[in-house]
């Protein structure tokens, strides 16, 4: 019992309940005004009717007095005065003594009311104590006689009373139903809220895998739960990314830091003195630069994952730009024994971050040069730009050893360097930076089999594509197109 009370009290203290209670109260208030006004109007109408009947009767009776005199009037009043009738009469002489009529006295409520009014009286037929309501007006018959003509309106009163009672009962029922409805609604919402609260509490306590259950009815609360769940997915992804990175930083940065320390120590111990110190310092700076590069790449990835970079978005021709970046690498690739070929679809205009796209292309070409065997047959590196579905894509393919299907997803993670590449220089961040750039442009990175070799495809969503009609006025000639 107390548990139920507690639950009701909890539901009653919710915003939902408060709101529905306020809504019910407002509804009742307005309804009361409307009903009250109707009631008052009806009552007035009925009273007016009674009064006009009484006025007509008064005119007839006074004309009777004018024609037949006092005797005729007395006779008429006596005839009209039925003990059970609704017509009420009281005729008195100058001193106030009763001459005829079915009222016993001049009602005290009518004293000093020259235009008549409402009064209550005890009809002779009713049981003792029962009073009826009536309306009466005085009739002007000169100074000798007092005549009061009235009507019993007890029926009207009873009717009004019963209407009033029905309305009060109705209002009572409405309030109770409204409050119960409010309680029920707030209980429902409270249950869902409790679920959300419980979930978020266990998430706060460290269980990031918990999700808010959905009712599956597709209402606002489900939409809210879905959004919260999506947010939680993102947070969990970021958290696990962060955890992975900090693990990897500890692991992967320790090695170069240790090498840096060793280089400095070795230089200090070297008996050659000044010359060795100089060499040692140069090596130290070189190693520090590598570390800085790694940190910069990490920071950039973190920045990209934190959200969009609106300031530096530009509109440019993706094909022309990628061609341009590839051209930067052509001499270096040739020196390393590769043939860099570029196949570009014309007129793919995008609204994107030019420098980041450039970084991604640079990383991919650099990887292709680093990780595939130069000089052998099939030493081609192919850079492509093409439309893909609604969006655009660029790809870099090589004829190197490729990446086994099972390793592909892992290769996109930060600091992951597949065994084959551990001995080669590099930060282990190249591909994950490319993936972050793709995500920033609502696209993705796919590692594919180039048969043989590795093909990395970076897609940009259709949101980045600029419609062709906007490019009509652009007649700039690329300096780089060689």
Partner 1 sequence: MRVLVIEDDKETAQFLQKSLKENGHTADLAGDGESGLALAMDGAYDVLIIDRMLPRLDGLSVIKSLRAQGNRTPVLILSALGEVDDRVKGLRAGGDDYLTKPYSYSELLARVEALGRRTVPEEQQTRYTVGDLVLDRLSHRVTRGGDHILLQPREYRLLEYLMQHAGQVVTRTMLLEHVWDYHFDPQTNVIDVHVSRLRAKIDKNFDKPLLHTVRGAGYTIRDGPA
Identify the three-state secondary structure at position 403.
coil
Cβ proximity to partner 1: between 231 and 332 the closer is 332
Interaction between residue 479 and partner 1 (CB under 8 A): yes
How many Cβ atoms are within 10 Å of 411's Cβ, its own excluded? 21
Q: How much is the CA Rg of the chain, to the nearest whole Å?
A: 49
User: How far apart are CB 397 and partner 1 at their closest, in Å?
Assistant: 18
Interaction between residue 275 and partner 1 (CB under 8 A): no
Cβ proximity to partner 1: between 162 and 355 the closer is 355
Interaction between residue 238 and partner 1 (CB under 8 A): no
Q: Which listed residue (232, 325, 342, 457) binds partner 1 by CB under 8 A?
A: 325
The arrangement of strands across the sheet holding 445-449 comes to 339-344, 380-388, 391-397, 454-460, 445-449
Interaction between residue 104 and partner 1 (CB under 8 A): no
User: How far apart are CB 253 and partner 1 at their closest, in Å?
Assistant: 15
Interaction between residue 80 and partner 1 (CB under 8 A): no
Contact 451, 469 (CB under 8 A): no
Interaction between residue 366 and partner 1 (CB under 8 A): yes
Interaction between residue 50 and partner 1 (CB under 8 A): no
Q: Which listed residue (72, 165, 278, 303) binds partner 1 by CB under 8 A?
A: 303
Contact 212, 225 (CB under 8 A): yes
Token digits for 437?
A: 């750039």
Q: Distance between alpha carbon 28 and the CA centroid of its chain, in Å?
A: 30
Cα(55)–Cα(376) distance, integer angstroms? 126
Q: Which listed residue (300, 339, 374, 420) binds partner 1 by CB under 8 A?
A: 300
Only one of the segments 155-163, 329-337, 371-379, 459-467 lies at the binding site for partner 1 (rule: CB under 8 A); that segment is: 329-337
Q: Using alpha carbons, select from 234, 240, 232 the residue that is nearest to residue 196.
A: 232
Cβ proximity to partner 1: between 177 and 309 the closer is 309
User: How far apart are CB 281 and partner 1 at their closest, in Å?
Assistant: 11
User: How far apart are CB 209 and partner 1 at their closest, in Å?
Assistant: 31
Cβ proximity to partner 1: between 161 and 335 the closer is 335
Q: Distance between alpha carbon 202 and the CA centroid of its chain, in Å?
A: 24
Binding mask 422-461 for partner 1 (x = CB under 8 A): --------x-------------------------------
Count of positions on this chain that bind partner 1 (CB under 8 A)? 37
Cβ proximity to partner 1: between 136 and 301 the closer is 301
Helix (H) or strand (E) holding 48: helix 15-80
- Which of positions 331-350 make contact with partner 1 (CB under 8 A)? 331-332, 335
Only one of the segments 219-227, 248-256, 355-363, 404-412 lies at the binding site for partner 1 (rule: CB under 8 A); that segment is: 355-363
Interaction between residue 242 and partner 1 (CB under 8 A): no
Query: DSSP letters of 97-138?
Result: -EEE-S-SS--GGGTT-TT-EEEEE--SSSPTT--EEEEEEE
Cα(376)–Cα(400) distance, integer angstroms? 10
User: How far apart are CB 419 and partner 1 at their closest, in Å?
Assistant: 21
Token digits for 331?
A: 């001499």
Q: Which listed residue (292, 341, 452, 470) binds partner 1 by CB under 8 A?
A: 292
Contact 53, 76 (CB under 8 A): no
Measuring CA to CA, how many Å separate 34 from each of 27, 162, 255, 284?
A: 11, 18, 84, 90
Residue 89 Rama label (left phi>0; alpha psi -120 to 50; beta): beta
Interface with partner 1 (CB under 8 A):
282, 285, 289, 292-293, 296-297, 299-300, 302-303, 309-312, 324-325, 327-329, 331-332, 335, 353, 355-356, 358-359, 362-363, 366, 369-370, 430, 479-480, 482
């Amino acid at each position: 019992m107390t548990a139920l009370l507690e639950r009701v009290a909890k539901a009653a203290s919710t915003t939902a309940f408060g709101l529905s209670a306020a809504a019910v109260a407002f509804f009742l208030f307005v309804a009361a005004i409307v009903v009250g006004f109707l009631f008052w109007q009806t009552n007035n109408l009925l009273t007016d009717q009674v009064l006009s009947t009484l006025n007509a009767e008064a005119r007839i009776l006074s004309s009777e007095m004018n024609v037949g005199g006092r005797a005729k009037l007395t006779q008429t009043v006596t005839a009209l005065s039925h003990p059970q009738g609704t017509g009420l009469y009281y005729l008195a002489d100058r001193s106030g003594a009763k001459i005829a009529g079915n009222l016993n006295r001049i009602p005290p409520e009518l004293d000093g009311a020259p235009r008549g009014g409402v009064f209550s009286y005890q009809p002779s037929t009713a049981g003792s104590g029962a009073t009826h309501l009536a309306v009466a007006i005085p009739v002007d018959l000169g100074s000798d006689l007092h005549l009061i003509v009235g009507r019993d309106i007890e029926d009207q009163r009873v009717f009004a009373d019963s209407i009033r009672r029905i309305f009060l009962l109705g209002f009572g029922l409405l309030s109770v139903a409204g409050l119960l409805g409010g309680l029920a609604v707030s209980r429902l919402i409270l249950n869902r809220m409790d679920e959300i609260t419980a979930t978020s509490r266990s998430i706060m306590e460290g269980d990031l895998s918990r999700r808010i259950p959905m009712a599956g009815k597709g209402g606002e609360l489900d939409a809210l739960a879905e959004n919260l769940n999506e947010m939680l997915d993102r947070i969990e992804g970021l958290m696990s990314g962060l955890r992975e990175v900090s693990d990897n930083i500890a692991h992967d940065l320790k090695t170069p830091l240790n090498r840096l320390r060793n280089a400095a120590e070795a230089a200090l111990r070297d008996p050659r003195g000044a010359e060795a110190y100089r060499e040692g310092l140069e090596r130290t700076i070189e190693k520090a630069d590598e570390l800085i590069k790694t940190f910069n790449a990490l920071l950039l990835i973190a920045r990209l994952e934190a959200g969009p970079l609106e300031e530096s978005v530009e509109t440019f021709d993706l094909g022309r730009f990628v061609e341009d970046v590839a051209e930067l690498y052509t001499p270096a690739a040739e020196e390393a024994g590769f043939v860099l070929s570029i196949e570009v679809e014309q007129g793919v205009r995008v609204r994107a971050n030019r420098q980041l796209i450039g970084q991604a292309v640079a990383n991919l070409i650099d990887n292709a040069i680093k990780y595939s065997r130069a000089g052998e047959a099939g030493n081609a590196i192919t850079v492509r730009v093409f439309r893909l579905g609604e969006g655009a894509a660029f790809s870099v393919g090589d004829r190197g050893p490729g990446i086994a299907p099972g390793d592909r997803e892992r290769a996109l993670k930060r600091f992951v360097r597949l065994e084959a590449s551990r001995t080669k220089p590099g930060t282990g961040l190249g591909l994950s930076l490319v993936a972050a750039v793709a995500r920033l442009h609502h696209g993705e990175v796919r590692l594919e089999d180039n048969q043989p070799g590795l093909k990395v495809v970076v897609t940009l969503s259709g949101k980045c594509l600029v419609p062709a009609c906007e490019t009509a006025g652009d007649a700039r000639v690329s300096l780089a197109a060689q």
